[in-house]
Structure 1
Amino acid sequence: MAPFDALHGYSPSFLPLIPVDSPTVGAVDTLLQERQQLDKLLRENLLLAQNRMKQQVDKQRSKRQFDVGEWVYLKLQPYRQASVSVRHSLKLSPKYYGPYQIIAKYGTVAYKLLLPPTSSIHPVFHFSMLKKKLGNNVTPLVDLPTMNEEQVVVALEQVLQTRTITTD
């Protein structure tokens, strides 16, 4: 059921938007002119609303760009990345790691970092996970967290036996 049907209880009447120049009955001609004006007004209001929403969203967007060779801090999210160890208190775990050097740029939003060889995470990150290194006085954690043996996800190789339980 269309939303119009649910709201009004009947299907909308279809009046094609034919040119006003065509010879028609006077009442139909005025009705078509009113519909064209209403259609124009609705389109203008829709464009105004879209522009207003775009302006509000653009206030929150950041235009960060990094160059190859720059140093950045890496933001890791242990609750989303399975290859990062989960600590007992996520609030107290470090927010940024690094600094790491950018060695490649893929497209406009992805960057490859020069991570230590002991890291177990993929080296390509979205720009929202990176923060530019400014100055020399801030030195957060350089070593990436290691993965615990308990966090390893075991994949199923083969189903050996099945059974069906029926409930009455």
Structure 2
Amino acid sequence: MVFLKVAPMKGVMGFGKKGKLSPRFEILKRIGKVAYELALPPTLVGVHNMFYVSMMRKYISDPSHVLNYEPLKIKDNLTYEEVPIQILDRKDQVLCTKPISLVKVLWKNHTMEEASWEREDEMKSNYL
């Protein structure tokens, strides 16, 4: 069993969680020296199931270890849209002479540490 390291993307993501280790997967077989074939769930049928060693992290089995896995609503093109849940903080940043209003946004399926600073006007236009 291994965790799969997924690359973070802004806005729309491929699968898994942003900047996180996605749920553990079982290794089916070794392909060459540095690649493995993984058993992916049926929801990820369109994702190629071979991954390099650099994308995997070892999973050490522990009976007390409980994984919180919330299935994502993945579209046909294997993407999903991030949705803001809450505004945590506000600040104004001055660039030259122009002030820009920023808000710290907590995104769905992310922790507080992954909250990001976004422009307030863009957030209002994209998410009412």
Report the TM-score range of the alignment, normalised by the length of the smaller protein. 0.3 to 0.5
Rg larger for: 1
Write 1 or 2 for the structure with the bigger share of helix.
1
Q: What TM-score, normalized to structure 2? A: 0.45
Q: What TM-score, normalized to structure 1? A: 0.36
Write 1 or 2 for the structure with the bigger share of strand.
2
